[in-house]
Amino acid sequence: MQKKDMGLAVLIIVVGAAVYLRNPLFLSPINLGNTANLIGLFGLFAIGQGFVIMTGGIDLSVGSMIALLGVIFVDMIGKFGVPWPLAILLTILLGTLLGLAHGLLITRLKMQPFVVTLCGLLIYRGIARGYTGEATAGFPFGASYPELEWLTIGRSFGVPHSFFAMIIVAVICWFVLHRSVFGRHLQAVGKNEDAARYSGIRTGLVITAAYVICAVLTAIAAIYFAMFTRSVQPSSHGNFYELYAIAAAVLGGFSLRGGEGSVIGVVLGVVLLQELQNLVNLLGIPSSLNFAVMGAVILAGVLADQQFNRYRDKKRAARAIDMLNKDEPNRKVPTPLRT
């Protein structure tokens, strides 16, 4: 665990203790279970956003993708009678194709990630609204899918399965990002894409793979959200979810410049954001201030990241100067050649 992660964990404990002192219901089993469920739901696609940010890019289409894929998933099962395992597979496959399209537009056509994913945000939301005719997509009245419901919204030992799913995804992504060759290539591309390319790394493939990973995890999250809400309103479902993902990644130590980040950190960032959301609800703060809290958190995270990087750069420079000064007396002055 990095120092940033430890600091974030301490902050989570301090905020949780403060909320508990104001309202003991914070640690009630019902509240903890509901919070864990939301952490799992948002954590799934926040981890994917971290992979994209690691490359120095960003994905603004996450919320709209959740709405579009949620509508399609619900209709496949409820309207067209597609078996739920096949519906899950097709939804993930569609998410993969969307992520692949993002990656190819960015790497092959050299478009800016901001522009590509902003267009995706508008296109996916528009398709979802046009497909349903602004109507809400939902399961037929009285329909029940026991196995699917147990897998997505069920609980074991009081812990939501969405939380278990996020933990499994986080463990896999931790190994991919921090213990694999692909993870080292991803960090190298984020640090300096040109240097990574000259060193033999296939930067286009690495960047495209990051967007595919983000889209796949978003598709999985879309399935969980669709089962959690039981219906999808395409005009509002998933609104501003990309902000939650970006905020969690920034709080977790992912630098918007790319090349830095921790999977543990982004999970802790999601925990902190949901804790703050819980604070707003339990302390009776108007819900209209939710976005103000979110914006303040993102701003504080970016400022803290910048200050930390400046401090680290100064410390490295000072250490380098000290090493040069120590080596100076040991240097031999070359003897001039006699003519």
Q: State how far the Cα of 225 lies from the Cα of 219, in Å rounded to an integer.
A: 10
CA distance 119 to 116: 5
The pLDDT value recorded for residue 313 is: 78
Burial class (CB within 10 angstroms; exposed 0-12, middle 13-18, buried 19+) of 229: middle
Integer Cα distance of 6 and 10 in angstroms: 6
Integer Cα distance of 169 and 90 in angstroms: 19
The Cα 25–Cα 43 span in angstroms is 23
Q: How many CB atoms lie within 10 A of CB 213?
A: 24
Estimate to the nearest angstrom the gap between the alpha carbon of 134 and the chain centroid: 28
| SS3 category, 207 | helix
Contact call for residues 259 and 201 (beta carbons, < 8 A): no
**Residues with Cβ within 8 Å of residue 334, at least 6 apart in sequence:** none
277: Cβ contacts below 8 Å, ≥ 6 apart: 38, 290, 293
3-state secondary structure of 156: strand
The continuous run of DSSP H or E covering 29 comes out as helix 29-54
Spell out where the chain has E strands.
Answer: 137-138, 155-156, 159-160, 231-232
pLDDT at 44: 95
The per-residue pLDDT string of the chain (339 residues; one tens digit each, 9 = 90 and over) reads 667 778 788 888 988 898 888 888 888 899 899 999 999 999 999 999 999 999 999 999 999 999 999 999 999 998 898 999 999 999 999 999 999 999 999 999 999 999 999 999 999 999 999 999 988 888 888 778 899 999 999 999 889 999 999 999 999 999 999 999 999 999 999 999 999 999 999 999 999 999 999 999 999 999 999 999 988 999 899 898 998 899 899 888 888 888 888 899 999 999 988 888 887 777 777 777 777 776 776 677 667 767 777 887 788 888 888 887 776 665 555 555 555
**Residue 271 and residue 244 in contact, taking contact as beta carbons nearer than 8 Å:** no
pLDDT at 120: 96
| pLDDT for residue 40 | 95
In the prediction, which pLDDT does 318 show? 84
Among 23, 62, 40, smallest CA distance to 271 is for 40
